[in-house]
């Protein structure tokens, strides 16, 4: 894509953010879809030869590499040729079939075998294998490595800041202290759990003829177990699972599950983005300054947390689309209507917004500079948070009404200081060793395990 294409693209995925999403063009572009379709058609023909069907027993298997090169070596010019054929056929999958036959004519030696290209199939046998395959490979080769990178960066921060005490905030108010590393580890744990669920989702494909029954296959070769052939072809050649019972199209339930699982991952990252945005606003983190960058067109001092904001916005778009796709694709009239076709062409869009978002989150995280003095100051400024610790030990010692006593002390608009807490502890009617234990508790060390 040249500079003009980037400037005139309607979608920011192919325009402003092209640098971040270019990898996905190999899975979700029109070129990619054509290549995947050719791949399925060629591998299907090879599988028929390997079966073999009687009319294909004499096929020279040494030609398999040349067949595979039709999709492995597909150029943009080749893809354009498919589009030119489509202008005549007004049918995109039929155009792929005709293109392959043209390539076979160019290779030579296929005169008696050409009609086994797309033999017995309907368009959705190609589409509902090509698109799931593109989703699977985009997840494996782009999305998972990117998310793994995010998890590992967070894990390194969690280890680096494992001993940094931090005032917690529940309902936006000071709460029992925690450790910064542990709070980051929460996201490592959540993302890992949901990534495991996403990776466990089976990616399935429809492959069974015009209405899912192998009608044409069976009438031509009634003695062949076409269901078993279909299962093996989809599993061994494409690495997918074949849906046993379908209409003309995929049931899309498994793909919907993938979208829902990815949406949960995205939601966790939104939560992470907002938390780090808040930590920056609380001055727990400063941000690395890059010479020449502008934070505000009017306020020269501004260094805004724009990476986390960018990520949040893109994840929201991605989730909206993922939710729509998961809800729409499994619904079709009777044995098939065409609404899934145009919708299916958009499956790469939420992936694009997810990639943009995660790249932005990574960029934002890498700009963080820990401001430990601010964390320590906030802890020192909030001695009331040790009230929980004190009343819990007093409960252990059967002290009368400890919660109520601490509530009366701390639930006021007066500032609680170390002196206020220590004066209260010293006034308690308990043994000195208990007082010593209580006096040793501070907002800085009351951080749990």
As a 3-state breakdown, the chain gives helix, strand, coil percent values, each rounded to 5, of 65, 5, 30
Structure tokens at 202: 């089976």
C-alpha 19/C-alpha 356 separation (Å) is 9
331: left (phi over 0), alpha (psi -120 to 50) or beta: beta
Beta-carbon neighbour count of residue 291 at 10 Å?
4
C-alpha 433/C-alpha 423 separation (Å) is 16
Whether 91 is catalytic: no
C-alpha 395/C-alpha 322 separation (Å) is 50
Q: Which one is catalytic: 11, 156, 163, 296?
A: 296
Distances 177 to 167, 305, 406, 441 between C-alpha atoms, Å? 4, 25, 17, 12
C-alpha 110/C-alpha 102 separation (Å) is 10
Q: Which one is catalytic: 171, 297, 301, 427?
A: 171
Structure tokens at 130: 């090509």
Is there a contact between 260 and 322 (Cβ–Cβ < 8 Å)?
Answer: yes
- State phi, psi for 12 to the nearest 5 degrees: -65, -20
Is the alpha carbon torsion for 172, 175, 180, 184 positive or negative? negative
Q: CA nearest 208: which of 240, 185, 242? A: 242
Number of H-type helices and E-type strands within the chain: 22, 6
Alpha helix stretches (DSSP H) within 15-63? 18-21, 25-28, 30-50
C-alpha 90/C-alpha 85 separation (Å) is 8
b/e for 169-199, b at 16 or more Cβ within 10 A? Answer: eeeeebebbbbbbbbbbbbbebbeebbeebe
Whether 296 is catalytic: yes
Distances 370 to 124, 161, 260, 312, 366 between C-alpha atoms, Å? 53, 9, 35, 22, 11
Q: Which residues are catalytic?
A: 171, 296
């Amino acid at each position: 894509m040249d500079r003009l294409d980037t400037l005139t693209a309607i979608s920011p995925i192919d325009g402003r953010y092209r640098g971040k999403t270019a990898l996905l063009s190999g899975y979700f572009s029109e070129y990619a879809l054509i290549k995947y379709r050719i791949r399925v058609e060629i591998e299907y023909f090879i599988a028929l030869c390997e079966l073999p069907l009687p009319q294909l027993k004499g096929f020279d298997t040494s030609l398999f590499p040349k067949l595979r090169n039709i999709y492995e070596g597909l150029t943009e010019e080749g893809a354009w040729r498919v589009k030119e054929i489509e202008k005549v056929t007004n049918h995109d999958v039929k155009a792929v079939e005709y293109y392959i036959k043209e390539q076979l004519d160019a290779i030579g030696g296929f005169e008696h075998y050409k009609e086994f290209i797309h033999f017995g199939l309907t368009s959705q046998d190609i589409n509902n294998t090509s698109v799931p395959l593109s989703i699977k490979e985009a997840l494996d080769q782009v999305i998972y490595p990117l998310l793994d990178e995010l998890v590992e960066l967070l894990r390194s921060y969690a280890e680096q800041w494992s001993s940094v005490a931090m005032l917690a905030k529940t309902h936006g108010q000071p709460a029992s202290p925690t450790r910064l590393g542990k709070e980051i580890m929460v996201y490592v744990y959540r993302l890992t759990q949901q990534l495991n669920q996403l990776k466990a989702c089976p990616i399935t494909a429809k492959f069974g003829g015009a209405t899912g029954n192998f009608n044409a296959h069976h009438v031509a070769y009634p003695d062949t177990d076409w269901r078993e052939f279909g299962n093996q072809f989809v599993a061994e050649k494409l690495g997918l699972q074949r849906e046993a019972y379908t209409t003309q199209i995929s049931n899309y339930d498994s793909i919907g599950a993938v979208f829902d699982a990815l949406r949960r991952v995205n939601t966790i990252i939104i939560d992470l983005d907002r938390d780090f945005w808040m930590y920056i606003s609380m001055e727990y983190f400063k941000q690395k300054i890059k010479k020449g960058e502008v934070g505000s067109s009017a306020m020269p001092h501004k260094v805004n947390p724009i990476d986390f904001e960018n990520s949040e916005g893109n994840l929201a778009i991605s989730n909206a689309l993922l939710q729509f796709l998961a809800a729409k694709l499994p619904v079709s009239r009777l044995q098939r209507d065409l609404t899934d076709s145009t919708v299916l062409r958009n499956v790469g869009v939420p992936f694009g917004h997810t990639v943009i978002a995660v790249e932005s989150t990574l960029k934002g995280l890498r700009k963080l500079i820990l401001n430990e003095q601010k964390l320590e100051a906030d802890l020192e400024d909030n001695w009331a948070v040790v009230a929980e610790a004190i009343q819990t030990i007093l409960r252990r010692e059967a002290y009368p009404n400890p919660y109520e006593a601490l509530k009366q002390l701390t639930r006021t608009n007066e500032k609680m200081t170390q002196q206020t807490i220590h004066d209260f502890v010293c006034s308690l009617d308990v043994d000195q060793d208990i007082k010593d234990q209580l006096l040793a508790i501070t907002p800085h060390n009351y951080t749990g395990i």
